[in-house]
Chains A and B, each alone.
Chain A
Amino acid sequence: MNNIPFITIMLTMVGSIAALLLGKKEKTAYMLMQVIFAVVAVLTFLLIPHFVREGGTVTYQLGHFPAPWGNELRFGLMESVLAFVFSAVMFLAVLGGKSGMKEDVQECKRNCYYSLLLLVLLSLLALIYTNDIFTAYVFIEINTVAACGIVMVRESGETLKATIKYLFMSLMASGLFLISIAMLYSVTGQLLIPSLNGAIAGLVSGGSYAWPLMTAAVLMTVSLGVKSAMFPFHTWLPDAHGTATTSSSSILSGVVVKGYIILLIKIYYRVFGIETIKNMGILNVVFWLGIVGMIVGSVLAIRERNLKRMIAYSSVAQIGYIYAGIGVGTVAALGAALFHMIVHAFTKPLLFSSAGGLIEASGHSKLIADMTGAGRRNKWAGAGFVIGTCSMVGVPFFAGFTSKVYLAMNAQDKGIIFLAALAISSCLNAIYYLPVALRIFSKAPEVATAQAENAAEESVPAISIACFSVINIALGVAGIVVITILAQGVQIL
């Protein structure tokens, strides 16, 4: 049982090399990748009932060196739930983007693409499990390069531009993270999270080195904020997520940005301690940036004429919800933010997969104006888009509604502001999602129908859309189960 996280990390690492070595056997590489995603999901799922029953966390020493010298993995309920969600979403997202992938990725490069996808999961798992801040830095870089790679894999002028923007912003952020680690190391002499926590608690209570600690905390927030598209640093996201191939967009929006948020949560709660961060005033800034991001992201999405870019801007708003939840600063609100993270991880890939189907059904045009009747030509994609819309807008009995309710309920003294921002943002969501949902089911002009008839036939990401939809409704109806589990998980963060 204790070996499972290490095994899953090694499995993805070996798989990513094997996928490259498989050379021309593209189908085998695809099967290998999907089997690994499934195995990781199943293995990680086995951890959840164990931790629900037993509670507590496990610290796994790599190489059997004791605490201050060795490298460690640490995992409990929260980590295993998130790792399960991430691997499951990756499995379904690749399934949902399969037809788009055939079109956008050259056949000779597909096994490289699978290798990159495995690296994405590898780095996410490592970011979730690691108990060492320098290891986190290394895997941040692996994640950055792999994420830029899965944008660039669809070769065109627009993805090139998006990748360069994404890469340079990410690398700047990595540099900031590295210097903040160097600062922390120079004042504490530690890199392992528990030892760092002890050393920082000592420094804070002694009142020494207040400025280096403050600078390190701010730099880490900015750096992970850039990488996870926190509001003022979101400019790379619509380009990267809006131009990539369908499965890449799903994965980037659904899971990649969340890995960094989880690392930031770990830094807040386990490195500095949430009280220290609160006293530095950082938490309040994060809250307000989240609130502004919720509204600005939605407003920017309204202006978009391109369906995928519109969905990408909606991600900026959703990241705002999560940051606002974290910014409240209580464990209950953190649980709600994590639940929203999971909901978004299942909803956004549903929307991107459906959008992929709709785009193929309307003659490969990404413009919303060309989508009239696309939902009739590709019924699965149409239905999936409507369900995703309901969840995003917050219709009762869909996942988005439940998570928004819990976010507002747990906002404590910031409840009124949070509720107002939620209401405005939900209305704005409705303004841009509903017209699309209506348009794709209205009657299409005759010419377009004939043109797109054959395209609709071949693209059926039906299984993936059905799974995502069922999960969405299940999370909406029985979200309380997941919330209870998460609440138990964040208690022992």
Chain B
Amino acid sequence: MNNLFNNYYELAAVILFVVGLLILLLQRNLIKKIIGLNIMDTSVFLFLAAKGYIAGRFSPIIRDGVTDASLYINPLPSGLVLTGIVVAVSTTAFALALALRWYQQYHTLDVDAAVLKNALKKGEQ
């Protein structure tokens, strides 16, 4: 139990991840699904950033020519977060483009309702 309180960053990240995952799975609105996806990705970034941070040290940018590694935090997780953000932005853009197309086609953002409408239209023909 004590461990959980000591690692509260990780705890928060995992809770956010599950919240995002549930939104992605349970919501029927495409925009809400995309928001859930972003919460999920961002929670991983929080997790990684918290892992890379060492209390009392500086961000890994060389200042005043000081190159002693023990003064800076671990730069690798920050690099991973940066890469992850780029990936998340591009997949979000793609998902939003598809959502836009979905809205143009069915005039709703609800996945199930649109399918229902489509089925009704087929039935009329």
Contact = CB atoms under 8 A, between A and B. Distances in A.
Interface stretch (A25-33, A162-170, A329-337): A162-170
B98 interface: yes
Interface residues of B, number: 34
Nearest to B97: A152
Nearest to A164: B98
Interface in B98-125: 98-99, 101-102, 105, 111, 115, 118
Contacts of B73: none
A152 B47 contact: no
Contacts of B71: none
B98 A185 contact: no
A167 B40 contact: no
A160 B101 contact: yes
Interface string A157-177: 100110110011001101100
Chain A interface helix/strand/loop/mixed: helix
Nearest to B10: A186
Q: Which of A141, A148, A168, A174 has the most CB of B within 10 A?
A: A168
Contact of A182 (B47, B90, B94, B98): B47
Contact of A168 (B95, B101, B115): B95
Interface string B17-34: 100110011000010010
A163 B40 contact: no
B15 interface: no
A168 B41 CA distance: 13
B65 to A, nearest CB: 22
Nearest to A149: B94
B67 interface: no
B95 A182 contact: no
A144 B111 CA distance: 20
B44 A175 contact: yes
Contacts of A185: 48, 51, 77, 80
B51 A145 contact: no
Contacts of A141: 87, 90-91
B21 A182 contact: no
B95 A171 contact: yes
Contact-size category for A: 20 to 34
Given A172-B25, A178-B41, A179-B17, A157 B98 contact: no
A138 interface: yes
A45 interface: no
B94 A167 contact: yes
B90 A145 contact: yes
B17 A167 contact: no
Interface string B34-67: 0001001101100110010000000000000000
Contacts of A163: 98
A28 B76 CA distance: 42
Contact of B30 (A138, A148, A164, A191): A164
A179 B90 contact: no
A441 interface: no
Contacts of A172: 21, 24-25, 37, 40
Contacts of B17: 175, 179
Contacts of B115: 161
A179 B21 CA distance: 12
A134 B80 contact: yes
B2 interface: no
Contacts of A138: 83, 87
B51 A186 contact: yes
Interface centre among A137, A144, A172, A178 (most CB of B within 10 A): A178
B72 to A, nearest CB: 15
Interface string A119-134: 0000000000000001
14 contacts: A141-B90, A145-B91, A148-B98, A161-B118, A164-B98, A164-B111, A167-B95, A167-B98, A168-B37, A172-B25, A174-B91, A175-B24, A179-B44, A191-B76
Given A157-B118, A182-B47, 7 more contacts: A148-B94, A164-B99, A168-B24, A174-B91, A175-B37, A179-B43, A186-B47
